[in-house]
């Protein structure tokens, strides 16, 4: 009986050792298994049903919120006084994104066009598209700056044309008209006799070229040959570099198309992406880690150097001619119109810009942009891109519509495009990328703990069993056959008294 218990204890020790071995092995193999699954599921491939569908038809709800800067003192501005604005909105639009013309190529790339459309959401908006607002007239004040180099007589003729077509320095229109276009005799005239001068044909609106349009022909890496390149842009509209800017570095098309990034990010990673609307590549930097409903994330934000001028940040010299830091001059890709992009309310910009306009109050919470990324997969969990559209305006001699306007970068509107993963997609994401890896981790450490506990308990039981046996019952060395005698096989009555019956 004692021999059987000893063998059982040894058996448990062996089982414990094997359990510890497999638990330890799992700590090395488990992450490799997870990484392999991440690679398989992040490659752009129709066989990856969930991830491919997510890439092709972005399933998360995306919304664009637009805030207008309603001009309170247009007459005073024409007299040279400082502009006073009041923020109105948000006017919220649901954004639908869908890729089409998807073509896979043998060199592990894929081409596509992405179409976007917007639908007004009254329940989420503060106001309606019928609200009437006053903003600067880009057709007049923008054209005045563009034509400043012409002779005074020519400018006077242009000023007469503005009067003929009933175009003043400020527009008072409904939100719907400002967004998606309004009838203008001047626009009709320019489109007829000077085609290509305006960015769009037909009605003129600030977002008319955005709705029911595509962002150009993108060719990106699928990640089949190297997962580190997945989603990275190879070319846009057949171009591998731009021609808008003054240096090769500024004309580079870097990063992804701005929806997903390669997996396995670290705190040293950045988020580069090409934006056709900004006419350049942008790059966000790591700010902090966090969690969204239990899912780990990295937050990436815009560095202060993103829109810095060439004086404050020399690599941005190629985006000049520049004004104050915090403004990106996009005139080179907007028919030379004096349009600037910035953060809302001139957040992270030169403070002098705030001195030129009443009614602005920048802060990071409301006006900073960010993208929250799941670092393991490179999938955005929460996105908020906020940008402001500004018009540079000034008095131009010969064009009476400009009056005595002081030189100013005038905010017209700012918008936020936001979206986040929720619902069934979030649940699937949480199960596959949080719950299952956590279960595997608990299993590996649980196996190690269980194995060690089994070894310790079994060894203790065996040791205790051996100690409690009397010396006469301890295992003896075999006696040579030629020394064997009857006395060595006898057990004395005295020795039996010492036998602990509890052992049986």
Per-residue pLDDT reduced to its tens digit, 149-164: 889 998 898 899 889 8
Residue 6, in any domain of the structure: no
Mean pLDDT to the nearest integer, 359-368: 95
Mean pLDDT to the nearest integer, 355-365: 95
Residue 222, in any domain of the structure: yes
pLDDT surpasses 70 at 470? no
Residue 493, in any domain of the structure: no
Mean pLDDT to the nearest integer, 101-126: 95
Predicted confidence band of residue 499 (pLDDT cuts 50, 70, 90): very low
Q: Which segments of 251-402 are extended strands (E)?
A: 270-275, 280-292, 295-301, 328-329, 339-342, 370-374, 379-393
Q: State what percent of residues in the chain have pLDDT above 70.
A: 84
Residues 6+ apart with CB under 8 A from 246: 317, 318, 319, 320
pLDDT surpasses 70 at 456? yes
What is the structure's pLDDT at 197? 59
In the DSSP assignment, the letter for residue 204 is B
Predicted confidence band of residue 55 (pLDDT cuts 50, 70, 90): confident
Q: Are 171 and 137 in contact (CB under 8 A)?
A: yes
In 10 A of CB 431, how many CB atoms? 10
Place of tokens 């308990």: 457
Residue 310, in any domain of the structure: yes
Which has the minimum average pLDDT: 31-35, 72-76, 227-231, 347-351?
Answer: 31-35
Predicted confidence band of residue 92 (pLDDT cuts 50, 70, 90): very high
Predicted confidence band of residue 502 (pLDDT cuts 50, 70, 90): very low
Residue 47, in any domain of the structure: no
Residue 227, in any domain of the structure: yes
Residue 279, in any domain of the structure: yes
What is the structure's pLDDT at 202? 64
Mean pLDDT to the nearest integer, 272-279: 93
Which has the minimum average pLDDT: 135-144, 150-159, 313-322, 485-494?
Answer: 485-494
Overall number of domains in the chain:
1
Of 2, 182, 189, 219, nearest to 106 by C-alpha is 219
Per-residue pLDDT reduced to its tens digit, 214-237? 899 999 999 999 999 999 999 999
The phi-psi region of residue 196 (left if phi > 0; otherwise alpha if psi is between -120 and 50; otherwise beta) is left
User: Which carries the bigger pLDDT value, residue 182 or residue 22?
Assistant: 182
pLDDT surpasses 60 at 289? yes
Mean pLDDT to the nearest integer, 39-63: 83
Residue 162, in any domain of the structure: yes
pLDDT surpasses 70 at 240? yes
Mean pLDDT of the chain: 85
pLDDT surpasses 70 at 373? yes
pLDDT surpasses 90 at 170? yes
Which has the minimum average pLDDT: 19-33, 91-105, 210-224?
Answer: 19-33
User: Which carries the bigger pLDDT value, residue 474 or residue 308?
Assistant: 308
What is the structure's pLDDT at 81? 96
Q: Which domain holds residue 200?
A: 61-421
User: Which carries the bigger pLDDT value, residue 495 or residue 114?
Assistant: 114
User: Which carries the bigger pLDDT value, residue 111 or residue 449?
Assistant: 111
Predicted confidence band of residue 76 (pLDDT cuts 50, 70, 90): very high
Separation CA 213–CA 198 (nearest Å)? 16
Separation CA 276–CA 196 (nearest Å)? 19
Which has the minimum average pLDDT: 92-96, 157-161, 353-357?
Answer: 157-161
Cis peptide before 321 (omega within 30 of 0): yes
What is the structure's pLDDT at 262? 94
Q: Are 298 and 271 in contact (CB under 8 A)?
A: no
pLDDT surpasses 70 at 479? no
């Amino acid at each position: 009986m004692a021999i059987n218990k000893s063998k059982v204890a040894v058996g448990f020790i062996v089982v414990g050792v094997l359990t510890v071995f497999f638990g330890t092995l799992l700590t090395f193999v488990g992450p490799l298994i997870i990484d392999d699954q991440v690679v398989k599921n992040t490659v752009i491939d129709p066989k990856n049903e969930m991830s491919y569908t997510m890439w092709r038809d972005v399933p998360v709800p995306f919304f664009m919120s637009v805030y207008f800067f309603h001009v309170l003192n247009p007459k005073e501005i024409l007299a040279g006084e400082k502009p006073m604005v009041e923020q109105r909105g948000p006017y919220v639009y649901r954004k639908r994104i869908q890729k089409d013309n998807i073509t896979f190529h043998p060199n592990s790339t894929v081409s596509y066009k992405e179409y976007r459309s917007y639908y007004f959401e009254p329940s989420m908006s503060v106001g309606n598209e019928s609200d009437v607002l006053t903003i600067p007239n880009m057709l007049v004040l923008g054209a005045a700056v563009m034509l400043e180099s012409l002779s005074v007589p020519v400018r006077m003729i242009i000023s007469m044309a503005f009067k003929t077509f009933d175009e003043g320095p400020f527009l008072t229109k409904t939100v719907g008209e400002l967004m998606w276009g309004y009838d203008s005799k001047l626009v009709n005239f320019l489109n007829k006799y000077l085609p290509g001068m305006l960015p769009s044909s037909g009605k003129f609106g600030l977002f008319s070229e955005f709705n029911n349009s595509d962002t150009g022909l993108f060719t990106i890496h699928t990640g089949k040959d190297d997962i580190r390149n997945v989603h990275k842009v190879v070319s846009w509209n057949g171009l591998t570099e731009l021609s808008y800017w003054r240096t090769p570095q500024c004309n580079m098309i870097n990063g992804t198309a701005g929806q997903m990034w390669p997996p396995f990010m670290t705190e040293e990673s950045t988020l580069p992406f090409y934006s056709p609307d900004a006419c350049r590549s942008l790059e966000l930097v790591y700010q902090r880690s966090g969690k969204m409903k239990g899912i780990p994330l990295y937050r990436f934000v815009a560095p202060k150097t993103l829109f810095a001028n060439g004086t404050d940040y020399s690599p941005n010299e190629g985006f000049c001619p520049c004004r104050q830091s915090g403004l990106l001059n996009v005139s080179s890709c907007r028919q030379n119109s004096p349009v600037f992009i910035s953060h809302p309310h001139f957040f992270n910009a030169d403070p002098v810009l705030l001195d030129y306009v009443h009614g602005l109050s920048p802060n990071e919470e409301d006006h900073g942009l960010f993208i929250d990324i799941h670092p393991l997969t490179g999938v955005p969990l929460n996105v908020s891109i906020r940008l402001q559209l500004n018009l540079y305006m000034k008095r131009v001699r010969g064009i009476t519509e400009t009056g005595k306007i002081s030189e100013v970068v005038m905010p017209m509107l700012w918008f936020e495009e936001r979206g986040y993963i929720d619902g069934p997609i979030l649940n699937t994401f949480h199960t596959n990328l949080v719950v299952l890896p956590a279960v595997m981790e608990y299993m590996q450490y649980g196996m190690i703990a269980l194995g060690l506990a089994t070894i310790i308990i079994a060894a203790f039981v065996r040791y205790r069993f051996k100690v409690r046996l009397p010396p006469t019952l301890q295992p003896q060395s075999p006696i040579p056959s030629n020394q064997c005698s009857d006395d060595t096989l006898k057990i004395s009555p005295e020795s039996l008294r010492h036998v602990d019956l509890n052992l049986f």
